[in-house]
Chain A
């Protein structure tokens, strides 16, 4: 199937106030598949918002090309605007107008056929129906975010750009928004999700791109972990003995062994294959094994590793 979002060496430079050039997005080449939640992860100033602006035709690329929903950025902008919904970093509303009026304005701009029904549907879905006639300016941050989500979805776009959708929300509101995003995938929409929240990316995203001006890595959360770190297995023993460490170390597939109290931490690449051998070795050497378990890296470990040492990307 053709990619919903495709970029080819997409680059954007800005001229700063002191006349120097700043590269915000450098040679970004990615493919986002239909129905995928694609996480876009990077530190502050990485160029995430700039990328979303490029892909939603708000600003023009300096070089490189991109297609969104099959349309070419820079040539078929109007068609792209109609196919994407965007949740901007700060979800600005017309504060003096009611929630429903805010949505009605956008329903008309997008030429939504059954505007009133759509507005009612999304207000209900996001729990804002009872507040529909209240001024948006009086809404809490969470309510504004939900209203902005409704606004992005009114015209039923196949592609959604979400720029930090849960930033600044309390855990309950964030949970609701996350569930809502998961539901968008169920409906077959493609979601391009910028976030700082690694746990969120880990749980929601099918694939994650780690990005800091350049693309550092792109893969599923599990593969990112696996590629970056060899895995670690912990053997809990009744008692530690120096000959146990030596016996384990003797195996060529073992990268590293550490004895910590009565735990043996073994680093290797394929525990499923090698654990039985290791257990036999330990038992033969006189160890009493209480538990065996895997030490899992959090995505945060992966992320920090990637962002701090970009050379690892190769």
Chain B
């Protein structure tokens, strides 16, 4: 694999992305909103005065053990924070679904694919570069958002014990393992959907359906059906990895040069 050719494509994708204000604003503002939301709620809940017993009586039983030795306010905040973990997982799903359709449909509508495929770039390099061009911003946005969230939470959560919960295994697994895997899943699906569509908006909408499972999980968690602990984080990561492997295998099988030329245009 040739690094120069891949970085050329990645830089090209980013240069085009930079000129596309619609997609660019999704990439920048969506993570900021998803970060600001939990911080605002944390801030609003800071004045909670009830005792830990009151909070515990309201919580799903699996949460209760985490509240041992904490004040009511701290326990409340931990609960809120864990609710938002899944919200962060939307960032790596949504950003590739915004970027990738434009990168494929853009090649189609500009008719730029044929000269590109006539060049010495290999299909693996091309697919990988297009993947990375969408996955890297998604992962960076997730990490930057998490960084902002950590700094904000430090200021809003006064109980150190509660704050430390942010660095519990499940968070780290989610941010550093699950998020990248979800980003790859999202970009693979987006490329497949886009290769069959001529309208980037339709492709984007279909790809956006990816967030639905996350919304269901979020609901399930709020209603107490699901607790996002270490085991669940690892389980999700394993599932995402499995799907990634299958999708990548299918993509490599399906997209040879001729298929890209005839299907992507």
Residues of A participating in the B interface, judged by any CB pair closer than 8 Å: 53, 56-60, 78, 81-82, 84, 86, 88, 90-97, 101, 105-106, 108-111, 148, 151-152
Contact = CB atoms under 8 A, between A and B. Distances in A.
A63 to B, nearest CB: 16
Nearest to B114: A88
Given A110-B119, A111-B4, 19 more contacts: A58-B114, A58-B118, A58-B258, A59-B258, A81-B118, A81-B120, A88-B111, A91-B111, A93-B110, A94-B110, A96-B15, A96-B16, A96-B20, A97-B16, A108-B5, A109-B119, A109-B120, A109-B121, A148-B115
Contacts of A86: 114-115, 118
A106 B12 CA distance: 10
Contacts of B113: 92
Nearest to B259: A59
Main secondary structure, interface of B, reads helix
Contacts of B19: 96-97
Interface residues of B, number: 26
Interface string B10-32: 00100110011000000000000
Interface string B66-105: 0000000000000000000000000000000000000000
Contacts of B15: 96-97, 101
B151 interface: no
B119 to A, nearest CB: 4
A101 B15 CA distance: 10
B51 interface: no
A168 to B, nearest CB: 14
Given A59-B261, A81-B118, A110-B120, A92 B8 contact: no
A56 B111 contact: no
B55 to A, nearest CB: 53
B199 to A, nearest CB: 17
Nearest to A49: B114
A156 to B, nearest CB: 14
A82 B2 CA distance: 14
11 contacts: A57-B257, A59-B258, A59-B262, A88-B114, A90-B111, A92-B112, A92-B113, A93-B110, A93-B112, A96-B15, A108-B4
B217 interface: no
A81 B121 CA distance: 9
Nearest to A136: B110
Contact of A82 (B12, B20, B116, B120): B120
B124 to A, nearest CB: 12
A210 to B, nearest CB: 25
Nearest to A163: B114
Contacts of A148: 115
Contacts of B161: none
B253 to A, nearest CB: 16
Interface of B: 4-5, 8-9, 12, 15-16, 19-20, 110-122, 257-258, 261-262
Which of B5, B9, B112, B113 has the most A CB atoms < 10 Å from its CB? B112
A106 B261 contact: no
B128 to A, nearest CB: 14
Nearest to B106: A94
A92 B15 CA distance: 17
Q: Which 10 A-B pairs have the closest CB atoms?
A: A92-B111, A92-B112, A96-B19, A108-B8, A109-B119, A88-B114, A86-B118, A81-B120, A90-B111, A59-B258
A48 B15 CA distance: 34
Contacts of B112: 92-94
Nearest to B11: A105
A118 to B, nearest CB: 15
Nearest to A151: B115
A57 to B, nearest CB: 8
Nearest to A84: B118
B211 to A, nearest CB: 28
B114 A111 contact: no
A102 B250 CA distance: 31
Contact of A88 (B16, B115, B120, B258): B115
A9 to B, nearest CB: 20
Which of B5, B116, B119 has the most A CB atoms < 10 Å from its CB? B119
B218 to A, nearest CB: 36
Nearest to B262: A59
Contacts of B5: 108-109
A161 B117 CA distance: 14
